[in-house]
Structure 1
Amino acid sequence: MTPVSSHSPHGQSPLRTVQVLGGGNAASSAHVRSLAAGLVARGVKVTVCAPYEADRAYDFSGIGADHVHVPRSSDPVSVAALRAACANADLVHAHGLHASFRTALALSGRRVRTPLVVTWHDRAHADGARAHMLRVLERRVVKAATVVLGTTSALVDRARLTGARDARLAAVALPGPRRPREPDDPDRRRPKVRAELGAIGRPLLMAVGSLERHRGYDVLLDAARAWRRLDPVPLVVIAGEGPLRGELQGRIEEEGLPVRLVGRRDDITDLLAAADLALLPSRWEARSVLAQEALHARVPLVATDAGGIPELVGDAAELVPYGDARALADSVVRLLGDRERRELLADRGARQAATWPTEDETVAQVLSVYDELTQPQPLP
């Protein structure tokens, strides 16, 4: 990344931007950190509005951005804090539905209209009355946004159907590790991880993500019943935390399933590198971090044919219908018994990963949108 002393579409002072993050998920938080670092390196002044815990986890201040604490709430105090932080901004960029809604409230009623860019990283998941409320928030957000960036074509289409004036496909990179890893021999590290997880002499199947309904872990447990008849029995490890932990753990114990819940982990790269297969049984995903990391790591992936997954992985994964436990189980059994197919998917995964945007390309695209929205328009 080549630093630039000052990026100024106005030819006067550096562009002043505010990035608004609602505390959000790991993918959007890592994206904001990567984006902020790239913008700062190009001479853009960046303020990140996010809860204290987000700054502690992602150290926005450490890459040269200013951090302003804004709680994950739409109460008047939070909106007022956000309004004050955006007072002198040339452009505001909000990430995620709830952060975007708060930002729309904060920018409303201003005499001078500040361009608002909104990135939809994923779709909000809810049922019943809450789903209706989320649709109302979506309409309010797209009405206020100057440009909506969607991380998948499906999200771009959804924004347009909801009423967005300008919706575009966003370039979003998988950010690299924030700290260099200690040098280690991967051939030595892999057996250590497998031993820790209890996967010595048996296949290791890895799933990662919050323990929530839309992740499809109930389907994964259904599929795990079929794997009990294999010899050796594969071990399914699920890394993540969430409200369904008790329900899932109860099923695992009651049915004697070969599944371990290991909670939230910060060594996902090592876990994936030790796995024989990665599993993604979700009802809907946008640019799944697990899918991206699996393909980067040359780990064969079995995923649902839903959301942005087909667009993301192309022919580099085995895709099965969502909710079809038999199809998931059968696909895993076939792959475990077909070394050539696993090697083919590993090769395809590496090629597919090479087509995804880099962090530099992501920053460049966003900056081109910023320039478009902040440069003085020529007189007719």
Structure 2
Amino acid sequence: MSSALLSPPGQPSLHVVLVVGRGGGGSGAHVRSLAAGLVARGLRVTVCAPARTAAVHDLSMAGARFVPLATCTDPATLTTLRTVCASADVLHAHGATAARQCALALRMRRARPPLVVTWHTRTRGSGAAARMARLAEGRVAREASVLLGSCSELVDRARRSGARDARLAPGTVAGPRRATVPDEAGDEERRNKIRAELGCVGVPVLLSVGRLDGTRGHSWLLHATRAWRVLEPRPVVLIAGEGGERRVLQRRIDAENLPVRLLGCRDDVPDLLAAADVALLTTPWESRAVFAQQALRAGVPLVATAVGGTPELVGDAAELVPYADPAALAGAVARLLGDRVRLAELADRGRRQAATWPTEEQAIAQVLAVYDELTQRGR
């Protein structure tokens, strides 16, 4: 760690305030990793987040002081942030909504710590609300001391919005702890046990993970499954996740007799991946999808939509298809299931691609370098 971040004896260490809203799209997991890493390096860290986000990502267990926020849109949030920022050396907001609230809180202060903003996703949608959100997003981009984008598309977007300093900062998720010596027999035994528990013995297993809220592409995924009903053996699609669209999806699965099972919320995605033949990512936009990272690290062949930062993330280690093209998705999966050589090739490429991603240590070091630079400017 740079000596600039190490306080002289008897003086308090650098105080960093991390702010996150809903924590979806991997931002909550990233904040937990960052908070734990900063604490381990001797910095004082305060994490501000809604209680639900903190519970889902164990933010209060990262070794940092935790300050709950009602929500990132509640007026009381501004008061809380202004109070917390009074002693901050750096304020780091994750996500557009958290960034807007942090910028508002700083506008009301004379002495302002530098504001670092990380964009993990982009503002989507149409209509007046989406236009207002994009205008606010652009203003925050111009006010941030440094804006970090988790993929190149977000960095380009920030620069077009007028950001004074936009940089690529790809976060990462922790990889699974692997045995020192591969145990193929043990892996196969585990795979068979999980598939038996899922009731998927003797059939190909396709796995998708994501909220059932209309933003994950499940509707056209279900459309694609019609083509797989003629395959022998017929593959089963497992969808892990919960949300308001569950009843709609289940009614359609039942009415059309689709080979799909909704598993609800699961905290055992690594086990589900161990049982899967192919992983599916059908979303309309992603930066660095956590599920894609998990699949490639586990050596599970991935079929994903060619959107956002996904091509940059996976390189040639996945089959990419256009968004909302059921025929393309159905064809890509059918070809893979009929080509064991290609499946093995993608599994190997996935692991090698995952090895090129920044480690948690490297991601934390990059952020620390930004803090170092900004605190040096203010001296």
Alignment TM class, shorter chain as reference: over 0.9
Do residues 202 (structure 1) and 200 (structure 2) align? Answer: no
**1:136 corresponds to:** 135
CA distance in 1, matches of 2:330, 2:24: 29
Task: Report the Cα offset of residue 86 of structure 1.
Answer: 1.2
Contact residue 294 and residue 301 of structure 1 kept, 8 A: yes
1:58-69 to 2 correspondence within 5 Å? 58-69=57-68
Task: Report the Cα offset of residue 290 of structure 1.
Answer: 0.9
Change (3 A) 1:195 1:130: farther
Change (3 A) 1:57 1:327: closer
Change (3 A) 1:202 1:105: same
CA distance in 2, matches of 1:217, 1:317: 19
Task: Report the Cα offset of residue 6 of structure 1.
Answer: 9.7
Task: Report the Cα offset of residue 103 of structure 1.
Answer: 0.9
Q: Which moved more, 1:160-169 or 1:119-128?
A: 119-128
Q: Which moved more, 1:244-253 or 1:292-301?
A: 244-253
- Superposed CA offset, 1:69-91 (max 9, x none): 11213232111011111111001
- Superposed CA offset, 1:353-377 (max 9, x none): 0000000000100000001001146
Partner AA of 2:38 in structure 1: L
**2:75 corresponds to:** 76
Partner AA of 1:57 in structure 2: V
**2:308 corresponds to:** 307
1:194-273 to 2 correspondence within 5 Å? 194-273=195-274
Change (3 A) 1:55 1:216: closer
Change (3 A) 1:243 1:315: same
**1:296 corresponds to:** 297
Partner AA of 1:328 in structure 2: L
Do residues 49 (structure 1) and 48 (structure 2) align? Answer: yes
- Superposed CA offset, 1:218-242 (max 9, x none): 1111110000011111000111112
- Superposed CA offset, 1:137-184 (max 9, x none): 212321221111000000111111122111100031213479x9xx99
Q: Which moved more, 1:143-152 or 1:87-96?
A: 143-152
**1:146 corresponds to:** 145
Change (3 A) 1:10 1:367: farther
Stretches of structure 2 lacking an aligned partner (at least 5 in a row): none
CA distance in 2, matches of 1:26, 1:287: 8
Task: Report the Cα offset of residue 185 of structure 1.
Answer: 4.1
1:84-123 to 2 correspondence within 5 Å? 84-123=83-122
CA distance in 1, matches of 2:329, 2:114: 45
Partner AA of 2:318 in structure 1: A
Do residues 37 (structure 1) and 41 (structure 2) align? Answer: no
Change (3 A) 1:177 1:316: closer
Partner AA of 2:79 in structure 1: A
2:6 to 5, 8, 29: 8
Moved over 6 A (4+): none
Contact residue 150 and residue 170 of structure 2 kept, 8 A: yes
CA distance in 2, matches of 1:288, 1:335: 22
Partner AA of 1:333 in structure 2: A
Change (3 A) 1:6 1:41: farther
Contact residue 5 and residue 372 of structure 2 kept, 8 A: no
Task: Report the Cα offset of residue 246 of structure 1.
Answer: 1.9
**Partner SS, residue 366 of structure 1:** helix
Q: Which moved more, 1:260-269 or 1:192-201?
A: 192-201
Aligned Cα RMSD in Å?
A: 2.3
CA distance in 2, matches of 1:204, 1:153: 33
CA distance in 2, matches of 1:58, 1:210: 16
Do residues 319 (structure 1) and 317 (structure 2) align? Answer: no
Partner AA of 1:313 in structure 2: V
Contact residue 151 and residue 170 of structure 2 kept, 8 A: no
Q: Which moved more, 1:151-160 or 1:48-57?
A: 48-57
CA distance in 2, matches of 1:59, 1:313: 28
Partner AA of 1:33 in structure 2: R
**Partner SS, residue 230 of structure 2:** coil
Contact residue 91 and residue 116 of structure 1 kept, 8 A: yes
**Partner SS, residue 375 of structure 1:** helix
**1:343 corresponds to:** 344
